[in-house]
């Protein structure tokens, strides 16, 4: 199983960026999918979650600015980020709770991260 993020980069304050994440490999089903972020010296924090049915939840710091979405058929999740601020600068990680086969337990898989930088 691989979880791979893409779409990070440098964006000016007030700008927008969309992160994408794709899961691939031997996958039977994917439950919830997540975006986390970690700034230097800080703990990794949950940014957004989306369930298989499409229910979402966001960290207070990004509500109204970020939108998480997924395509179950393509096994992808995206994070649309608007009105970006310098404090959004961090490495962003995608993760997914998935089963590899019908008899396997659900496990969480992580991507390698993609950097988002918003200069002050």
The rounded distance, in Å, linking the Cα atoms of 47 and 38 is 10
Confidence of residue 120 (pLDDT cuts 50, 70, 90): very high
Tokens of 30: 């994917």
As beta bridge partners, residue 73 has none
For 43-47, the CB contacts below 8 A with 24+ separation are 44/93, 47/79, 47/92
25-54 per-position pLDDT tens digit: 999 999 999 999 999 999 999 999 999 999
All residues at 6 or more sequence positions from 64 whose CB lies less than 8 Å from its CB, including other chains: none
- E strands, the chain, in order: 2-6, 9-10, 17-24, 29-38, 45-50, 56-58, 66-71, 76-81, 90-99, 107-110, 114-117
54-85 per-position pLDDT tens digit: 999 999 999 999 999 999 999 999 999 999 99
The rounded distance, in Å, linking the Cα atoms of 34 and 47 is 8
- pLDDT value, residue 81: 98
């Amino acid at each position: 199983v691989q979880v791979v993020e893409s779409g990070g980069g440098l964006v000016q304050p007030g700008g927008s960026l969309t992160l994408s994440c794709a899961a691939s490999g031997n996958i039977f089903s994917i439950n919830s999918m997540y975006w986390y972020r970690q700034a230097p010296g800080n703990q990794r924090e949950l940014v957004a979650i989306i369930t298989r049915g499409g229910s979402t939840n966001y960290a207070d710091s990004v509500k109204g600015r970020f939108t998480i979405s997924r395509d179950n058929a393509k096994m992808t999740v995206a994070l649309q980020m608007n009105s970006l601020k310098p404090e959004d600068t961090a490495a962003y990680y995608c993760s997914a709770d998935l089963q590899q086969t019908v008899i396997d337990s659900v496990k969480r898989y992580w991507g390698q991260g993609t950097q988002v930088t918003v200069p002050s």
